[in-house]
Structure 1
């Protein structure tokens, strides 16, 4: 056991060093800062978010890749930017079947293949052939969309975004071939080569006289030089049609009040500074050499040296931490350890071997450490408490649940706390992974909510209350199941009953205090209390349920079995307050609305009601011992 604690201490020290150290700036394209949704993030994170949006995963498997090898998100994005036509032909769009219905694919005339993945050209052709369908949806109020229609519109928006993304670097990739000796000499080139759209923007003083000369000569009198110039002009015109592709913001603002720019926006030399133009030139050299595997440290250093001269403050240590956080994926590894802990705990119960229980404890402890480290990483990256979005609240409530249950186990050493920690932690990780699959989980807050003080006080308190409430509810499940399996006179029931009571009191304190603080925050931010926001009504339901259960116990109206049954149902109240109010799609807290949450919510409620009621009725009315 001493060795176990030594290993845990070593792991914590190692993790803290990773978090606190000023990580070295990587000489890698992954670190290129990008502005997306109001947040500066590394290009690697941007690539992951986009690939998840289009493909449903943050990588392309061997089965679906163009070269038969697994492709990471950053490699996919760079290849798409440098070779758009290849990327547009890749089966990247995943069309999920809501309720196993292939209606979206049928509506667009797609072949309904097993993988449900299609290329840009296949999807866009489907929309072209069904333009009437799309026009009809555009004229229809969004509130009247069916689930299939929502998916069709969502797919169309993804196609538009993908098209923009694919052509974002079209102006800085070598697209125009120059072979005529006279043109080469006039443009000060060393020999036949390919140049980019930006080359002509940056060398407009050399190119303009050539075009003026061309316009003075009738086409039938053009020589080889003029024919080449005409070809260049036509190619430039063709390239200019992609100037709408401005979604990839990689050029920082260079003055107060200015905005980040995309490469295409930098092509407007009248609206950019010399520093921004210089940066995009270095980026062009950097990207081209990177894809050709010919880049060197000097080229990379030049790019980052220019970046550092901008007024915009970019925290490269945090960008590195975000890349590291993406690659390690703390919560997925924590989930694996929770599952292992559950397996070994089950084996220990079947074979009565203490060694398996110890292995289960080690697994849950290391899983919990990864859980904590993952939360700390998010706090450092975002510079705020990790409870601001639905995804973050799931992860944090999972942390609270496991923490409280492990403390219970440390005191009681009866494996009940261990069981609750494992099951509750694993379930919430599974739910969290579902929301993580929606894209960026490190989103920015609206300004009025971006208050570290109130986030730390109100949201942390209320989510802590959620976590303790779930522990008390799960302990109620343990009581009911044990009474069902071992009978009403089982010696462990008294201890479990007392602890459910204590946990309910703690949960009441945090949920009541958190709800009151929420009203104070609203009054200070908007000049009024919630008045009432649906989310606060949901939180109040939890408080009222705890009060009801406690009053039933204190007045003697609820015996231990009844009290455990009512306590077990608090899970339903918590989930309704946590997820259910988002189905209303109104209020300041409606941040988590998804089409499938209603079905999942109803399934959960039905299961809980049937499971808990069945155990309660069986024990109360059909168990004599």
Structure 2
């Protein structure tokens, strides 16, 4: 952060000089490489994607960032996501894009690519409120940001090494301004060479940057110069050869670099480029439609549709598991340390519980619902990368006990998955009350069958949430020295557990009948939303500060209000139409 602030302040104070330096920084590598290459180099117009180039090998070059060694492909994707707010930008390969930034910075000074989403920040900087991306030159035009960055750079005391409770929620506007300062600082660091940690050193020292003046890494710097020059001049042959030379040079300098490390880098590039979760949700979506069609087509065709839907569901599940497995291998830990990872894990949990119940009851509605929920979960995770960081990062100290992380977090989030499945089936059940005037006895029997599925799924959820909450107390005692402290995360987990216990008990004792149970199933999920999302994104206070973030309030509020309106509409339909007297076993 300090490095970003320094780079940002310098770029604002010496704007003319920095732009001049940026122009020469893209030419210096070209001059260096031209001296060692007899082939004449003809400069070309920069700023266009190299559509016919492959950057797979370049993406395998190791770099050090955010506390771990990662492939250049991941490094580039994280930067592009942070700067632009999306995983892709105008058809550029991420590696191609950051190479273009360093070799042709003058053009990018006037090109809008830096993300600013909040209207109040745009107004503060005098920017067009209808746009979300702006050029560095547009952002520099107002002096407010320079003053703000200078204030952030002032010392504010030593940081705490022991976890403390966060007692106030960060201001969203201030958070956006901080991110903007970091984006400008990161971009300036990239075009100056100060943001390229590419020269290995002995651990635990951080790697040296591309513009470092130390003798260590001189050969690597020269190879990067050749590679960047070839990129600038669109010399594909020289670029491909220099990529292999640069990668070999970097790997030879990494202490204890083994085949296992190289294999992990390859796995990470495969994970990045295959994008298994994208394939999974597309297949889930098609499978959900097919499962929904199973009951409305003729019996013979229905059997064929069921088989195809089952095969597509199995393939989607395979890709889903493959994506999570890749993340586990790359990170060396369970994939549930932030909201992005918990959503993809909960989506998988929904499919697991649906599969178990399908094997018991053979009801196509289970996969129709679960595939729909898995699609929504994976799409939500992919659609908001700025809110839910998809990056793979080292754990904060309080999470570094893999044993307790596995036992507590995996267990409690599997409970959320079971409750999500009850939400989906509950919505389908409530829909039946709109149709009861057509065949009341058949509809009542169908509702009873759906409620039975919901009841079984809810039992899974209650057991797992109870176990996860208790084990969370053990983890808290291990990490923070107390079993229970009425932290907001703990309180809302307990509230959710008690809420579902009430629903289960009312269903078991007969206090709730068919409609009441289905309606309460949907309403109770609001407690899960609060425990899972609300504490971290809305309240933002307590000891679980490592999970705090912001964003998505409108979407979540719309979901909650939509579900409440749906329950009220179903209630109106239920009480408007007389119910038949049917004996329903409990």
The answer to whether the superposition gives a TM-score over 0.5 is yes
Match of 1:568 in 2: 522
Does the CA contact (< 8 Å) of 1:34 and 1:40 recur in 2? yes
Does the CA contact (< 8 Å) of 1:27 and 1:297 recur in 2? no
Match of 1:276 in 2: 217
Aligned equivalents of 1:580 and 1:379: distance in 2? 27
Match of 2:327 among 361, 373, 378: 378
Match of 1:262 in 2: 209
Match of 2:251 among 292, 307, 311: 307
Match of 2:143 among 96, 103, 128: 128
Please state whether the residue corresponding to 2:63 is helix, strand or coil: strand
Does the CA contact (< 8 Å) of 2:61 and 2:250 recur in 1? no
The residue correspondences of 1:4-153 to structure 2 (distance < 5 A) are: 28-61=57-90, 70-96=91-117, 98=118, 101=119, 103-111=120-128, 116-125=132-141, 127-128=142-143, 147=172, 150-153=175-178
Aligned equivalents of 1:124 and 1:111: distance in 2? 14
Measure how far apart 1:458 and its partner are: 1.1
Residues 463-492 of structure 1 show CA distances to partners (whole Å, capped at 9, x for unaligned) of 111111111232222222224324663322
Please state whether the residue corresponding to 1:618 is helix, strand or coil: helix
Residues 368-397 of structure 1 show CA distances to partners (whole Å, capped at 9, x for unaligned) of 221111111111111111112111110000
Measure how far apart 1:34 and its partner are: 2.0
Residues 232-265 of structure 1 show CA distances to partners (whole Å, capped at 9, x for unaligned) of xxxxxxxxxxxxx3x33122222x442222123x
TM-score (norm 1): 0.73
2:500 counterpart of 1:546: yes
Match of 1:410 among 344, 356, 359: 359
Match of 2:556 among 598, 601, 622: 601
Match of 1:519 in 2: 473
Measure how far apart 1:152 and its partner are: 4.2
TM-score (norm 2): 0.78
Please state whether the residue corresponding to 1:568 is helix, strand or coil: helix
Measure how far apart 1:611 and its partner are: 1.0
The residue correspondences of 1:526-541 to structure 2 (distance < 5 A) are: 526-541=480-495
Match of 1:332 among 275, 278, 283: 278
Moved more, 551-560 or 444-453: 551-560
2:199 counterpart of 1:251: yes
Moved more, 453-462 or 529-538: 529-538
Measure how far apart 1:71 and its partner are: 1.6
Aligned equivalents of 1:369 and 1:442: distance in 2? 21
2:185 counterpart of 1:160: yes
- Rg comparison, structure with higher value: 1
Give unpaired runs (5+ residues) of structure 1.
Answer: 1-25, 62-69, 169-244
Please state whether the residue corresponding to 2:143 is helix, strand or coil: helix
Give the alignment's Cα RMSD to 1 decimal: 3.0
The structure 1 segments of at least 4 consecutive aligned residues displaced by more than 6 Å after TM superposition are: 129-139, 141-146
Match of 1:401 in 2: 350
The residue correspondences of 1:194-205 to structure 2 (distance < 5 A) are: none
Aligned equivalents of 1:574 and 1:144: distance in 2? 21
Give unpaired runs (5+ residues) of structure 2.
Answer: 1-54, 157-166, 581-586
Please state whether the residue corresponding to 1:59 is helix, strand or coil: coil
Count of aligned pairs between the two proteins: 501
Aligned equivalents of 2:231 and 2:152: distance in 1? 43
Aligned equivalents of 1:133 and 1:377: distance in 2? 40
Aligned equivalents of 2:411 and 2:146: distance in 1? 51
Measure how far apart 1:461 and its partner are: 0.8
